[in-house]
Amino acid sequence: MLATVNINIDYAGSETTWAIIQEGDVLSSGGPYIDNNPGVIMTHNICLSEDCYEFVIYDEYGDGLGFLVGDYEVLDGSGNQVAFGQNNFGDSASHEFCLEAPVGDPPSSSFTASTEAICMDESVNFNSTSLGDPSGWSWQFEGGTPSTSSSENPQNIQYTNPGNYSVTLTTTNTFGADVETIDEMITVQASPDIAVTSLI
């Protein structure tokens, strides 16, 4: 999962370094930074496992981020602050933090169609009624053109051949995915044969 380290450097950025440590091993580190650039936020994105870690920030001069005032923070994958410090922390400051996978439920896929019975070469509009705050939609239209869509509410899906066709919607969010298929949802009627006879 993603963790973010933000360092709001002070005037003496070249004195500042940091590390994320687990059981004595340095997993990620940053700095030193440039001098004479106070207030600039240095952002680092790091991929870590669901576990506990130590964040240590160091200042070579021994006045922390106290020269024109700076601060630092560590954010978890949901943007929650799990470590924070500022100003003069001396030579170093240490924070223990843990990352936990977000808890939630996958979406529940459902959908409707503007009509379920059409003639050849007519079109159907589809509307997702899925629950659980989906962030992704993947449609499959058997016999339709186009045959797939990633729109939340696909429009103008055309059917050119007679038959009964299934529709499938897969929705996704941070916590998983769900698939809903309605078999033979769309019925496409064949055009009638018209016999032409000559009148003599």
> Average pLDDT in the 126-135 region?
97
| Each residue's pLDDT tens digit, 139-191 | 999 999 999 999 999 999 999 999 999 999 999 998 899 999 999 999 999 98
Which residues make Cβ contacts (< 8 Å) with residue 124, sequence separation at least 6? 113, 114, 115, 116, 118, 144, 157, 159, 186
Which residues make Cβ contacts (< 8 Å) with residue 110, sequence separation at least 6? 128, 129, 130, 131, 169, 180
Please report the pLDDT score of residue 67 as a whole number: 77
DSSP secondary structure letter of residue 87: S
| Each residue's pLDDT tens digit, 94-129 | 999 999 887 889 999 999 999 999 999 999 999 999
**Residue 161 tokens, joined:** 């051949």
Report helix, strand or coil for 158.
strand
Cα separation values, 66 from 11, 83, 165, Å: 9, 18, 68
Q: Which one, of 144, 125, 156, lies nearest residue 188 by Cα?
A: 144
Residue 88 CA to residue 15 CA, distance in Å, equals 13
Query: Picking from 1-5, 33-37, 132-136, 193-197, which range would have the lowest pLDDT averaged per residue?
Result: 193-197
**pLDDT band at 195, cuts 50/70/90?**
low
Report helix, strand or coil for 188.
strand
Model pTM greater than 0.85?
no
| Alpha carbon of residue 86 to chain centroid | 31
Confidence check: pLDDT of 200 > 80 = no
Residue 49 CA to residue 40 CA, distance in Å, equals 28
Confidence check: pLDDT of 24 > 60 = yes
Burial of 132 (0-12, 13-18, 19+ CB in 10 A): middle
Please report the pLDDT score of residue 69 as a whole number: 77
Please provide residue 130's backbone torsions phi and psi, each rounded to the nearest 5 degrees. -65, 150
Looking at every residue in the chain, the average pLDDT score rounds to: 94
| Each residue's pLDDT tens digit, 32-88 | 999 999 889 999 999 999 999 999 999 999 999 987 779 999 999 889 999 999 999
Neighbours of 131 (CB within 10 A): 13
Amino acid at 184: E
Please provide residue 118's backbone torsions phi and psi, each rounded to the nearest 5 degrees. -140, 170
Instruction: Set out the domains of the chain in order of their start, with CATH numbers.
Output: 2-98 (2.60.60), 111-189 (2.60.40.10)
